[in-house]
Amino acid sequence: MVKTLIRIAEIESGSIADELHLEIGTRILRINGQRVRDGIDLTFLLADNLLELETIALDGSCTVHEIEHEPGETLGVVPAPDKIRECGNKCVFCFIDGNPKNVRDTLWIRDDDFRLSFTYGTYVTLTNLGDKGLQRLVDQKISPLYVSVHATDPDLRTRLLVNNRAGLIMEQLEFLLDNGLNVHTQVVLCPEWNDREHLDHTMRDLYSLGGGIISLSVVPVGLTKYNTGVVRPLSITEAELAVEQIEIQRKIALEDRGYGWVYAADELFMRGGKDFPADNYYDDGALTENGVGAVNQFVRDFETGIEELPELPNRKIRVITGTSMQGLFFERKQMLQERTGADIEIVGVVNKFFGDTVTVAGLLAGQDIKEQVGETREDEIILLPADALNADDLLIDSVTLNDMNEYLAPATVRTGYELTECLKDLDQ
């Protein structure tokens, strides 16, 4: 029996798959004679109007279904999640190596999967793709991709990623670009490794590849108290220098291409003690998920939403955030109080779970929040940042939202992605 990576997990009622009496657990082998390797293949191959669908049922019987459907009409199957293509690197700055033992299970997954890059914008290194894998990207026009470059010098990238294939990055990028794909790139900046002259070299190399390299984000290395010995955080001076280097390349890109092209991540400005640039620095703002322009987005959302806030007189509200955003919240505390009439307290939680070098709200642990909030009262609202919780309402240390409600009782715990939106909901 031929194995397949695709298994039907759900079938939509009244769909073509339902009418064919396909069952949950049925495996899809081929479509129009082509092997279905994963969900990306399934999406591309189902686009044809005439389909010859070869399946294996739960009892092992093989059936070929001939299907004709209208453009845009779906088959009505939801595939089981693909097995994640894991990372084969041993990067000297690997965040997973900085995990404590009791971190949320999903944070142990060492993914380096081009399918996640295409679908969700996660960054991959391309070290686990050979010629056939790269050709597949071209054949299926999987673009834009998001690629962690870190350094274009072959020897340096090999040492950073601890992978003998890492030095092929420029050849791989040239192949993808020559075949019409577009790529967002990233550098995780490690002092005394890929900074200073190496950063200049990397920026020049990537820029020379042309407009197919859509962007370059420069992000300072993030380390926890469990990362030991190999890489250290950037100093204030090193962060300042990196921003200055980036600005030189930005001026070239603005004059040549009409947009900035290379961007310093928000944390690089924070670490260097520099003011955030104006909104036009970020061009179309497409990289906020990579920490590029997220602070400016927060400020814009705040300014837009504050006028719509309800009056909340005599309410006690504690806003939980990471230490990196604490100052921005404090600057807006008085405005919030004047608009709502509520007693607002900003709590910048120090991250003891990972170590105080980790300052973002999205990596706050339930235990740290519990300890640093302390005693609560019945008429109090505790606002947790939504990005600290995953889709299953688990914080980074596997503490649940229900656990937090119990820990922080008698206060009421609420969560919201955007502060002013969450405060509006309190009036409901």
Region 224-243 average pLDDT: 92
Q: What pTM did the predictor assign?
A: 0.85
Reported as a pLDDT band with limits 50, 70 and 90, residue 426 is low
Instruction: Specify the DSSP element, H or E, that contains 115.
Output: helix 114-120
Reported as a pLDDT band with limits 50, 70 and 90, residue 420 is low
pLDDT of residue 1: 39
pLDDT of residue 88: 86
Instruction: Specify the DSSP element, H or E, that contains 62.
Output: strand 62-68
pLDDT higher at 9 or 228: 9
Region 186-192 average pLDDT: 97
Least confident segment among 103-112, 192-201, 365-374: 103-112
Q: Tell whether the model's pLDDT for residue 340 goes beyond 50.
A: yes
Three-class DSSP category at 83? coil
Region 123-146 average pLDDT: 93
pLDDT higher at 260 or 420: 260
Q: Tell whether the model's pLDDT for residue 385 goes beyond 70.
A: yes
pLDDT of residue 387: 87
pLDDT higher at 176 or 57: 176
**b/e 67-102 (16+ beta carbons within 10 angstroms → b):** bebeeeeebbbebeebeebebbbebbbbbebbbeee
pLDDT of residue 389: 92
pLDDT of residue 407: 92
**Secondary structure string (H, E, C) spanning 211-253:** CCEEEEEEEECCCCCCCCCCCCCCCHHHHHHHHHHHHHHHHHH
Region 69-87 average pLDDT: 85
290-338, pLDDT tens digit by residue?
Answer: 889 999 998 888 888 888 888 888 888 899 999 999 999 999 999 989 9
Q: Exposed, middle or buried: residue 341 (CB in 10 Å: 0-12, 13-18, 19+)?
A: middle
Q: Tell whether the model's pLDDT for residue 108 goes beyond 50.
A: yes
pLDDT of residue 3: 53
pLDDT of residue 290: 85
* Assigned CATH for 8-79: 2.30.42.10
Q: Tell whether the model's pLDDT for residue 113 goes beyond 70.
A: yes
User: What amino acid occupies position 261?
Assistant: W
298: closest CA among 360, 380, 340? 360
Annotate 142-209 with DSSP letters as a single string.
Answer: --SEEEE-S-SSHHHHHHHHT-TTGGGHHHHHHHHHHTT--EEEEEEE-TTTTSTHHHHHHHHHHHHT
Q: Where are the domains of the chain?
A: 8-79, 96-292, 300-425
Reported as a pLDDT band with limits 50, 70 and 90, residue 404 is very high
Chain mean pLDDT for the chain: 90
Q: 4-18, 111-125, 158-172: which has the highest mean pLDDT?
A: 158-172
**Domain 300-425 adopts which CATH fold?**
Rossmann fold (3.40.50)
Q: What are the tokens at 63?
A: 């059936």
**Domain 96-292 adopts which CATH fold?**
pyruvate-formate lyase- activating enzyme (3.80.30)
pLDDT of residue 91: 92
Region 164-171 average pLDDT: 97
pLDDT higher at 282 or 85: 282
Q: Tell whether the model's pLDDT for residue 371 goes beyond 90.
A: yes
Instruction: Specify the DSSP element, H or E, that contains 63.
Output: strand 62-68
pLDDT higher at 224 or 85: 224
